[in-house]
Amino acid sequence: MALEDFRKEARRLDRADPLKEYRRLFFTPPGTVYLDGNSLGLLSRDARASLGKVLGSWKTLAVRGWLEADPPWFHLAERLGARCAALVGADPDEVVLSGTTTVNIHALVNTFYRPSGARTKIVADELDFPTDIYALKSALRLRGLDPAEHLVLVRSRDGRTLDERDIVRAFDDTTALVFLPSVLYRSGQLLDMELLAREARARGIPIGFDCSHSAGAVSHELDRWGVDFAVWCGYKYLNGGPGATAFLYVNRRHFGAEPALAGWFGSVKDRQFDMSLDFEPAPDAGRWQISSPSILNAAPLIGSLALFENAGMAAVREKSLKMTRFLMDLVDGPLAAEPYGFTIATPREDARRGGHVALVHPEALRIAEALRARKVIPDFRPPDIIRVAPVAFYNTYAELWELGRHLREIVDGREFERFETARKAIS
């Protein structure tokens, strides 16, 4: 199919889109085609309204807002956790809003990593998001163990994806913990979490996932898969705003475990203000909270999660898959041939694809800059990847076609040559 044919197809798909009404609920930066929702999701009217409401209760109630605001701030972490649980296939008391992703990784990895005897190793992978690896290495060092020896990073065969069989081969009787991403942040590969959890559990190894790149884009069944713990952030597909408060999940069979990084907000709620020096942890995932929840950073999620509740995660995933499929077809056809030369690093099978598509091109850095100059916003990840996230709530197929047109023009006119080859602080 030629690029022009994709335009007609895009129009048809947009007209038939069951989620098309959601787009007008979001603020898109004026004049832009925004395709970076996997890095920072857009503001919705609902999120702005819920943030405004929290500001209003701070203004009028001040400290009384902890109990008298609607919803009360004191219970907000549990309430939002319960709502988010529905998106990941968990019970309401297994998810809580807390801190930030990296802090939650520290809190849970240090809880579940219990080296003993020959079981000392943590299995992760070499394509992991850096902060996850930093946290794992520091957990090892805290116990006086050398990461070079005790952190096993499963290798990728093609530099972009992982083979689950290679991961499972790394599970053995020296493994104390497995911690993996749900979706690889560069290629967009969705790992088979069900299989990995089954294989880890069959060997008695606790397994956790960083779902930052899948929460709000992919359907999860954390309980059914038997995952031990998980973390994810609030600001990517969940549209909670920059640095939004994050979430953590702990499977209920671990509700009795001692939190490694205890803090007073992990207390049983009705006795927290007894101010006892003996920590009495909450009976559920709430015990892994540490500090006062960042209410202002959580407030947009009150509104944002309502959109997921209305639309249903299944519909969001279905559209996301359809959009990424459309984009891959568009690139494979008119943009793969010379002189364009774009290829795709993302797996083709629906079951192995997260919410974004990774376009590979030797000039990816400068092409991403040229796109931005044309007000098309993807992002760049070294060495050669342009990530494009068509978000079910606010992107259209027509925008993906627009992206294709811009890519064609940028290469036709060698427009990217006008840009620097040095990367900016945030790309």
Active site residues: 129, 210, 235-236, 387
> Is residue 210 a contact point for ligand PLP (CB under 6 A)?
yes
* Omega before residue 71 within 30° of 0, cis: yes
Whose tokens are 């984009």? That residue is 327
Per-residue interface string for the shown chain with ligand PLP, residues 116-155, x marking contact by CB under 6 A: -------------x-xx-----------------------
User: Considering only 5-13, 40-48, 72-80, 99-107, which stretch makes contact with ligand PLP by CB under 6 A?
Assistant: 99-107
Q: Can you read off the two tokens belonging to residue 283? A: 């009976």
The C-alpha angle 350, 214, 383, rounded to 5 degrees, equals 85
Q: Name which of 260 and 373 has its Cβ closer to ligand PLP.
A: 260
Question: What is the nearest approach in angstroms of ligand PLP to the Cβ of residue 7?
Answer: 33
282-313 per-residue burial string, b: 16 or more CB within 10 A, e: under 16? bebbbbbbbeebbbebbbbbbbbbbbbeebeb
Cα dihedral 179, 185, 190, 194 in deg (nearest 10)? 20
Q: Can you read off the two tokens belonging to residue 98? A: 């807390």
Q: How many residues form the binding site for ligand PLP (CB under 6 A)?
A: 12
Distance from the Cα of residue 102 to its chain's centroid: 12
Q: What SS3 state is found at 141?
A: helix
Q: What distance in Å separates the CA atoms of residue 221 and residue 218, rounded to the nearest whole number?
A: 10
Per-residue interface string for the shown chain with ligand PLP, residues 173-202, x marking contact by CB under 6 A: --------x---x-----------------
> Is residue 245 a contact point for ligand PLP (CB under 6 A)?
no
Out of 57, 100, 251, 346, the residue judged to bind ligand PLP by CB under 6 A: 100
User: Considering only 7-15, 97-105, 194-202, 331-339, which stretch makes contact with ligand PLP by CB under 6 A?
Assistant: 97-105
Give 3-state DSSP helix, strand, coil % of the chain, rounded to 5.
Answer: 45, 15, 40
Phi, psi of 231 (to 5 degrees): -135, 155
344: which strand partners? Answer: 359
Q: Can you read off the two tokens belonging to residue 369? A: 């800059």
> Is residue 32 a contact point for ligand PLP (CB under 6 A)?
no
Q: Name which of 213 and 317 has its Cβ closer to ligand PLP.
A: 213
User: Considering only 76-84, 209-217, 310-318, 387-395, which stretch makes contact with ligand PLP by CB under 6 A?
Assistant: 209-217
Question: What is the nearest approach in angstroms of ligand PLP to the Cβ of residue 64?
Answer: 31
The C-alpha angle 379, 384, 387, rounded to 5 degrees, equals 30
> Is residue 101 a contact point for ligand PLP (CB under 6 A)?
yes
Q: Name which of 66 and 129 has its Cβ closer to ligand PLP.
A: 129
Out of 23, 83, 160, 213, the residue judged to bind ligand PLP by CB under 6 A: 213
Q: Name which of 212 and 294 has its Cβ closer to ligand PLP.
A: 212
Residues that bind ligand PLP (CB under 6 A): 100-102, 129, 131-132, 181, 185, 210, 212-213, 233
